[in-house]
Every structure is written in C-alpha cells, then in structure tokens.
A and B are shown apart, each in its own frame.
Chain A
C-alpha cells in the first residue's frame, strides 16, 4: 500500500514529465507563449517535489526565481519580439543524429549516477535541508568557490548583454 507522499511523488513526477513534454512538443499548439506557460507548470510541479523532500526553502526559491522572474522575462521577450507560431520544419538528418547522441550520452550519465548513488535508506540520516540556516552556512563555507564562480558567470552574462545591446557612442 503506497503512502500519501509516495502517491504525491508519482503524481508530481508525472506532471513534471507531462508538462515538460507539452512544453517542447505540444501537439495542439505551436505557440511559443503556450510552451512558456507549460514550462511554468513544469517548474511548479518540480517545486512540489522539493516540498516532498522537506526542502521548503528550495521550493520557494524555485518558484520565486524560475516561475517568477525568469519565466516572466521569457514572456517579456516573446511579447517584445512578437514571435509568430512556429512552423513545422522538416527534420534535419544531421541534427537528428547529433541530438540522438546527446540524448544517449545524458541518459548514460543519469543511469551511471543512479547505479552509483547510495540507496535511499542509508541517506535517510542526512535529509535534504529544509531550514534556511544550514543551507546558508553550506553556501558560504563549503561551497563558497562554486557559489562565487556562478555569480561571476551571471555577471559576465550581464556585461555581455549590456555590451551587445548598447548602441555605439558617436
């Protein structure tokens, strides 16, 4: 008899996959805005998965950053560029081949990670951090370097955008 969290996990995982599929390959609509909306639903389902892991902080950040800020910026760009419904293009054989290889490689990585992962029972002792303080402490001590590198990456992207979008001064 599956427990309620189990059922919720399967439901949310199913929703994530379903909405993710509808986001990239919606058979009913080729409109980019529809895709973006399905991406929002995907992100919200993923936030639900975080809640199931007791990681409320991560869930809130997921909704705040991705569903809130990033998606709205996507929609903003779509609105500004006035993108029409995408036409169905014929499949490019070379692209299909490369895409297939990439999918296989990622699937291989995932399988490898799953095989090497410690079983859930032994990991139960160190549950996903729900409270904010341990997360902050980890970010600013153990994972300080990756954290700072990520910030620099974002800064580089920002500077690049300003450089590209700024009109040349006379």
Chain B
C-alpha cells in the first residue's frame, strides 16, 4: 500500500537515477512537468465529452454520440478540427497582442498547478507562500482576457472583455477572503501544510475544514466565487453567446480558440484543486479505515466529484444579468465572507471550551451567526418592487 501510494514519486526517482548525473536536474524538471501537463490535458479532454454528454441528458437529448463508441472519441475529433481550421486574424487587429493573448491565458493557468498537492509528497514546488502564488499567477488571466478583447478591434469582443474584467476583479475579493479563513486557522500559506492540518481523524471521521461551520460556508462561497472567476455558467457573461456572440473570443478561430478553451478549463481545474486542498482535506481519505489507500486516488476522486457538480450547476442554473452579478458580489458575497472570517476566529478561540457538549454549542453559535447574516443580508437586499420607470425621451 505504501508503495502504491508513492508509486509516482518512486517511479520518478527511479527514472532520474537512470539519467546521467549532469542531466539529472533536467530530468527532474521534465518528470515533474510532463505528467502534470499530460494528466490535466487528458482531464480537459475527458471533461469536455462528459460535460457535453451530461448537458445533453439534462436538456433531454443525447449529446455527442457519433464519433467512436458512445461518442467517446469526440474530443479527438474536436482537437483535429481545431488544428486544421484556418487561423483568421482581423485586418485591423493588433497582431502581436492578438497572438500573445491565448498564451498569456494558458501559461499562467499551467503555472497554478505547480503548487497544488496532488498526493502525499506530490507537490511540484512547496512554496512558503504557495496560496499567494496561486492567486498572483491566476490574476494574470484578467490581463489575457483584456488583451484578447482589446486587440480584436471588435465591439462584442471589447464588451466581453469589459464584462470579464469587471467580473474577475469583483469576484476575486470574495474568493481570496474565503481562503483567508483557512489561512487564519492553519497559520500557514503553504498548501501541503494546509493539507497536513486536515489529515487527522476523530472517531474515524476526518477533520476537514468543510466539517466546521466556517469551513462549510467558506467552501460554498469559494465555489461560487471560483465559478465566477473561471467564467463558468451561471457566471459566463463575458462570453454570453445569446448577447455578445462569444465575447472576447469572437475573433478567435482554430487553435488559438482551442487554447482559450483549454485555458478556461484549466482555470476551473485549478480552482477545483484549490477548493479540495483548502476545504476538502486535499489528498486525505474520507474515513480513517481507508487511510492506507493511495492518496492521489482521493484527490482525483474529489476532483471528479466537484467537476461533476460544476457541470450540474451549468446545466440547471440560468445566467445572471450584469447588474445582478455585480450586486451579488459586492453586496452579498463580500459581507458574508467577512462574517465568515469572524466565525472562523470564534471557532479557533472557542477550541479551549471544556464543558460537555461544547462542540454542539460551538457549532450552534457559529452556524447561527453565519445563518443569521445570510438571512439578514437576504432580507435587506430583497426589494419587491421596481423603481418607477423613467421614460427619458418620451415625456
């Protein structure tokens, strides 16, 4: 079991030992990056077909079923089509920026995976400020969106970029604030140590952060803000096809479009991996008697479950309006994340309570505080009547 758990680490060491000494550093780097790219590129291919199938079922149709058995080879066909499609660049476009934009999205998206722990001892780089690195690199996707929208010289592309940037900046605030609660309670920005902090078991049950009042609400807030950050439905306004064609992707075709598409899914995977690491105990097993099973298996099991949740949400929740989107971020999510921070502090300091039933009291108080804030905010923001209409040019 120990060997199975560490099989990828051992395989890497075995391979590095076979390489001549002067080239060992190169082999180490390549053997860290290569599997990462292979695994998540395959995840991308699998997710596209699963998503199209699942959306088809939700919408009462079959989904792709022509290529290969049950349509399983659809990603291959898509990839081939993207490769041989003509690459169109608008005559007026800023050629250099137009070309650089997809790379500015995909390269940082890959970089974010370098700090995520995929299993025991399976982190590419254990940075001291790993969480901060993750968000710093992820922030450059806003720049890529801007570059794409601005360089295309297309109204719809520019509008999509404006929407995208406004949305990403707004939702970055609740996204980061919801992770601060975890940093506060663990006392470290390093992701492997955040996983370590959740690896204990109490009565055979895991001590994941999601099993605390602040962790549960933080996880939900993180998923909502993360979906918005990854431009995922119901927050896919930057590329709302029924309003602004394809947003900032309008003038992209062929492989550049495929790169953008991949960059968005990689962003989603990164957010998912981060959510698992922060709240769902990373690579730890859900029950103690399964703790000897391979750690990487649990990471990818949770990964698949969260991705399935995102697909489900995409298939069932309608898209928001722009003003709703902004109000939801600033008036609802940000205050709730701030309340969540207070609850996390309360949970941390009430850990010394000794009287019997203390855990229930802590749960009740914490959950009551968050729930109270949720209800109060919802009531306060709910206006049942529309303002009187003003017909500016008709009176």
Interface size band for A: 20 to 34
Partner of B143, one of A60, A71, A131, A132: A71
Interface string of A38-68 (1 = CB under 8 A from B): 0010000000000000001100110110011
Q: Is B133 an interface residue (CB 8 A)?
A: yes
Interface size band for B: 20 to 34
> Once the chains are docked, how many angstroms separate the CA of A33 from the CA of B146?
10
Give A residues with C-beta under 8 Å from B: 33, 37, 40, 56-57, 60-61, 63-64, 67-69, 71-73, 75-76, 79-80, 130-132
Least CB distance from B184 to A in Å reads 12
Interface string of B87-108 (1 = CB under 8 A from A): 0000000000100000000000
> Once the chains are docked, how many angstroms separate the CA of A56 from the CA of B137?
13
> Once the chains are docked, how many angstroms separate the CA of A71 from the CA of B143?
8
B139 contacts A37, CB within 8 Å? no
Q: Which 7 A-B pairs have the closest CB atoms?
A: A68-B139, A64-B136, A60-B132, A63-B136, A60-B136, A57-B129, A72-B142
Q: Is B161 an interface residue (CB 8 A)?
A: yes
With known contacts A56-B128, A56-B129, A130-B128, A63–B161 Cβ distance under 8 A: no
Give B residues with C-beta under 8 Å from A: 97, 127-129, 132-133, 135-137, 139-140, 142-143, 146-147, 150, 158, 161-162, 165-166, 168-169, 172, 189
A131 contacts B162, CB within 8 Å? no
Majority secondary structure, B binding face:
helix
Q: Which residues of A contact B137 (CB under 8 A)?
A: 63
Q: Which residues of A contact B150 (CB under 8 A)?
A: 33, 75, 79
B165 contacts A63, CB within 8 Å? no
With known contacts A37-B97, A76-B162, A130-B128, A60–B133 Cβ distance under 8 A: yes
Least CB distance from B216 to A in Å reads 27
Partner of B127, one of A40, A56, A72, A80: A56
A75 contacts B139, CB within 8 Å? no
Partner of A57, one of B97, B132, B143, B165: B132
A64 contacts B129, CB within 8 Å? no
- With contacts A67-B140, A68-B143, A75-B165 known, what are 14 further pairs, Cβ within 8 A? A56-B129, A60-B129, A68-B142, A69-B139, A69-B172, A72-B165, A73-B169, A76-B162, A76-B165, A79-B146, A79-B162, A80-B162, A131-B128, A132-B132
